[in-house]
Amino acid sequence: MKLILQSLNAEPGAIEHISTLAGAHAIDISDAGRHAWRCDNVTLSDAQKTQLDTACLNAGVDYALHPSHLKLSDFKLLAMDMDSTLITIECIDEIADMQGLKPQVAAITEAAMRGELEFNESLTRRVALLKGLDASALQRVYDERLQLSLGAQPMLAAIKAAGIKTLLVSGGFTFFTDRIKAKLGLDYAHSNVLEIVDGKLTGKVVGGIVNADEKRNTVERVCTELGIAPSQAIVMGDGANDLNMMKIAGLSVAFRAKPVVRAQAGVALNFVGLDGILPILA
């Protein structure tokens, strides 16, 4: 196995300390945009993994223990969650802010992402609070508040250069996923449809809800369409509703994720950007 260490601003000596814990020598593989190190032929006991996890967290370092043979070229699809993964915000929370209801909606969002609240129920409750809001609020959120997460653009550039297809699959809304798909040149997008009547949100979602099961089904459908196995997909997410699709992936990536997701993902990026997958798969 290879151990990849990455950091935006690791303290002097931190990488040496961490590599010593792993019983390996750290080779600097940094480039112009990333600080990264590789340790080869690493085998860790459970006790060493616990030590490594604590040391990295304290030092602001991301680590990935990854099979040496797996490369970016082994994958054919990148499936991404949208809110708090590809973008920095939870769109529904920001829409609610236009209604003066952000604290109430954000609390429900957090509970759902931690896995404490069933997603369908959480979405239904949150969307209901938006009833009567002028639909122009959606455009305001897109124009004024939506930003791509750190490293999104270099990651997508490398993914496209490798010929890998892209899927944005979200428990959020088509208003945002459709625009992001067009802006970034993504291949597929699937999310919920907010009902709008006479220029106002009705507080309802049209059709079925894109929940954890539907996210997994969507990844499987796209893999079938592409003629590939789910093991050839990279899946990135941050919340409990991403776990089902992450479980079928060849590489699951938790990005700025809730503890329940970090614990089950193959790779967790807590500090560096989305392009942190690139040194891992180099």
Per-residue pLDDT tens over the stretch 62-119? 999 989 899 999 999 999 999 999 999 999 999 999 889 999 999 999 998 888 889 9
Lowest mean pLDDT, pick from 65-69, 132-136, 142-146: 65-69
Residue 32 reports pLDDT greater than 80: no
227/248 Cα distance (integer angstroms): 16
The reported pLDDT for the residue numbered 125 is 93
Residue 203 reports pLDDT greater than 90: yes
Confidence of residue 255 (pLDDT cuts 50, 70, 90): very high
The reported pLDDT for the residue numbered 10 is 82
62/11 Cα distance (integer angstroms): 13
| Span 159-178, pLDDT tens digits | 999 999 999 999 999 999 99
The reported pLDDT for the residue numbered 73 is 96
Active site residues: 81, 83
Burial 202-231 (b: 16+ CB within 10 A, else e): bbebeeebbbbebbbbbbeebbeebebebe
| Span 5-15, pLDDT tens digits | 999 988 879 99
172/16 Cα distance (integer angstroms): 42
Whether the CB-CB separation of 133 and 201 falls below 8 Å is answered with yes
Segment 222-244 mean pLDDT: 97
Task: Name the nearest CA neighbour of 191 among 98, 262, 92, 114.
Answer: 92
The reported pLDDT for the residue numbered 261 is 95
Q: Calculate ∠ Cα 55-153-249, nearest 5°.
A: 65
- Which tokens sit at 42? 């690493």
Helix, strand, coil abundance in the chain, percent, nearest 5: 45, 25, 35
Task: Name the nearest CA neighbour of 184 among 80, 50, 52, 105.
Answer: 80
Segment 257-265 mean pLDDT: 93
The reported pLDDT for the residue numbered 120 is 95
Whether the CB-CB separation of 137 and 98 falls below 8 Å is answered with yes
pTM of the model: 0.95
- Percent of the chain scoring above 70 in pLDDT: 100
Segment 209-225 mean pLDDT: 98
> Where is 277: in which H helix or E strand?
helix 277-280
Task: Name the nearest CA neighbour of 226 among 161, 165, 159.
Answer: 165
Partnered with residue 83 across adjacent β-strands are 87
Q: Calculate ∠ Cα 75-77-79, nearest 5°.
A: 125
The reported pLDDT for the residue numbered 79 is 98
Strands, DSSP E only, in 87-232?
165-173, 188-197, 200-206
Residue 229 reports pLDDT greater than 90: yes
Residue 33 reports pLDDT greater than 80: no
Burial 167-196 (b: 16+ CB within 10 A, else e): bbbbbbbbbbbeebbeebebebbbbbebeb
The reported pLDDT for the residue numbered 102 is 94
Lowest mean pLDDT, pick from 77-86, 102-111, 231-240, 266-275: 102-111
10/235 Cα distance (integer angstroms): 27
User: What is the average pLDDT score of the chain?
Assistant: 95
221/217 Cα distance (integer angstroms): 6
The reported pLDDT for the residue numbered 98 is 87
Task: Give the type of residue at 65.
Answer: L
275/62 Cα distance (integer angstroms): 12
